[in-house]
Amino acid sequence: MISIYEKKEVDKFIRRREQRRGSVSQEVRMAVSEILSAVQEKGDEALIEYTFRFDGVDLLKQGLSVANEEIRGAVRSLPDAFLNSMNQAIHHIRAYHEKGRRKSWIDCQEGGIILGQKVTPLKRVGIYVPGGRAAYPSSLVMGAVPAQVAGVSELAVVSPPGPDGRISHSVLAVASLLGITEIYRLGGAQAMGALAFGTESVRCVDKIVGPGNVYVAEAKRQVFGVVDIDMIAGPSEVVVLADETARPDFIAADLLAQAEHDPLASSILITPSSSLARRVQRALQKQGKDLLRKDIFQTSLSAWGGILVVESLKQGIELVNALAPEHVGLHVNDPWAILGDVRNAGAIFLGHFSPETVGDYWAGPNHILPTQRTARFSSPLDTEDFLKYSSIIQYGKKALKRDAEAIIALAEMEGLDGHANAVRQRTKR
């Protein structure tokens, strides 16, 4: 199911894993470009055509947007236990993101100088909620809550319909809990085109967030610049760093939880203990027998998973930083002692009783995270991603006169005498 790579084989595994990143095929790029162009030119007509072709749903009969009665029916169809749990999760996630909300500021200085920063929320955001193998209402929460905390006033949700033409009841119910009523039966690249360019029925947005398949990711890449996007998300990944104090059954459970997402998901254990490596391998086989998504996690673990035995915990940390994974689990005796050394990770789970699952659903931090080594330079989706910043500059006459000579010198050094003139006109006798 999953292979153990001893010290001399670790580099070989890392090189092979790099192939997982790959590049988007020319076929996908061209198909997405064609879809986006059609949506831009033909609007709703293209959305109807592509939804029928790819999803087998006739939007002329089913309707492009989801009616309020359908949303209310979805809420009624679900058990109270689910709705109550989701409400609690929303509360935790909202409380976490409220702590990161930035505010405008002003700084008054001598000579009539006023400097500052005006913080303004985006007006309109589109959220993509994947369908396909499973429904992901938690992804809707993670996209919507930080936007709402930031002050975004309009949220439009797109999600691919099932064969019956309906969007998952759980997604519709969660939208209701969040107060979102603008929902469209749209998936794939055509949904990205509708949000980016607008159609007769779908107004364009300022930013698109949310994970999706390779066509959705490529469409986000191509519309970036027309609108903002959160990130280009790849397959999920977890790296567990463990010492001899770790529980092999806990590690196996975390690796399986990640591997069941996608055949391309990557689950890796890094440890200096050969004994722990073998015990985790046995625990994976034992626990895997009782899980439902066997075809998915078996493919994932055999193709992209690995147990890497290293010389020391220090070398393990170096490997974590090189991999820059989406999730890192620190299954060590004192995780706080090494936390500062972990530079590249989307989310870090400390200790033996912090499974990735609590981050996916409950704790509060966002589960829309950088993947495929982009944690080297990017961060989880957060409230700041829905804010924009305008600089504020006011100069008084006295301050401008004091600084004029230096400013003019800089402008003239760059050959911009018009810039210099704009200062000189205000300060000449």
**Residues belonging to the active site:** 326-327
- What CA–CA distance (Å, rounded) separates 296 from 262? 6
In terms of Cβ atoms closer than 10 Å to its own Cβ (0-12, 13-18, 19+), residue 107 is exposed
Backbone φ, ψ for residue 345 (5° rounding): -165, 145
Cβ contact 314:289 at 8 Å: no
Cβ contact 350:327 at 8 Å: no
Dihedral, CA of residue 96, residue 358, residue 127 and residue 166, to nearest 10: -140
Nearest to 125 by CA among 161, 86, 92, 151: 151
- What CA–CA distance (Å, rounded) separates 160 from 54? 10
Nearest to 152 by CA among 387, 391, 389, 390: 387
- What CA–CA distance (Å, rounded) separates 172 from 83? 12
Cβ contact 241:317 at 8 Å: yes
Beta carbons within 10 angstroms of residue 206's beta carbon: 17
Element (H, E) at 185: strand 183-185
Residue 183 forms beta bridges with which residues? Answer: 157
- What CA–CA distance (Å, rounded) separates 172 from 270? 40
Beta carbons within 10 angstroms of residue 393's beta carbon: 8
- What CA–CA distance (Å, rounded) separates 221 from 215? 10
Q: What is the CA radius of gyration of the chain?
A: 25
